[in-house]
Amino acid sequence: GQQLNQSPQSMFIQEGEDVSMNCTSSSIFNTWLWYKQEPGEGPVLLIALYKAGELTSNGRLTAQFGITRKDSFLNISASIPSDVGIYFCAGQRGGSNYKLTFGKGTLLTVNP
Amino acid sequence: DADVTQTPRNRITKTGKRIMLECSQTKGHDRMYWYRQDPGLGLRLIYYSFDVKDINKGEISDGYSVSRQAQAKFSLSLESAIPNQTALYFCATSEGHDTQYFGPGTRLTVL
């Protein structure tokens, strides 16, 4: 089935550092989404991208929809301890295909 | 109050038991989904429903069944639980093809 390759699997960084993670696919998606999951909670949407090349920010988070529509990245600037969690990318084909395909997640640990 | 709620939040059961997980939403969304999350595997779709009369299998539906009792309620059943169904289960909702919003999850352990 459809797969998204998300990397890295985990990151250990110091507070204040910038973070970058990405997702790639062998197939095209029309929508890319980035979610964050904290312990004991469900994933929460951070950023949604709907157009190839789109660059969108949400506070210290910036995500881009790759030109080829087969990849996306998420950057977090000046990390803080509450950034800790698992970050998931998800792709959606669009049209009549509602399904989300999720990456396996990036576990982020921020050392104060 | 949370828009998407799941009950129970935690459940421990024995092999062979029937289990029902419930999901309710106040968002007024037409579409509801059940996902399973396992460490290192991300989220995988079990079943989805576009409205009360519509039920569809996802990628891992074997061993599960669902019921859409009303627009706001979507329950997941394990008819005869087995240990490899130990996982985190998430309900999600969306309005049409729009963004999916997730509930807080149910942690299920099958002994």
Average pLDDT score, chain A: 92
Measured between beta carbons, which residues in chain A are less than 8 angstroms from residue B40? 104
pLDDT band for position B40 (50/70/90)? confident
Confidence band for A24, pLDDT divided at 50, 70 and 90? very high
* Residue A104 burial class via C-beta count within 10 angstroms: exposed 0-12, middle 13-18, buried 19 and up: buried
Whether pLDDT at A23 is above 70:
yes
SS3 A101: strand
The answer to whether residue A45 neighbours chain B at the CB level (below 8 Å) is yes
Nearest CB to A45 within list B48, B99, B104 = B99
Mean per-residue pLDDT, A93-110: 84
| pLDDT computed for residue A9 by the predictor | 94
* Nearest neighbour of A102 by CB, restricted to B43, B48, B99: B43
In percent, the amount of chain B with pLDDT more than 70 equals 97
Considering only CB atoms, B41 lies closest to which of A99, A100, A104, namely A104
Q: What is the pLDDT of residue A2?
A: 57
Cβ-based contacts of B105 with chain A (< 8 Å): 40-42
C-beta neighbour count of A15 within 10 angstroms: 12
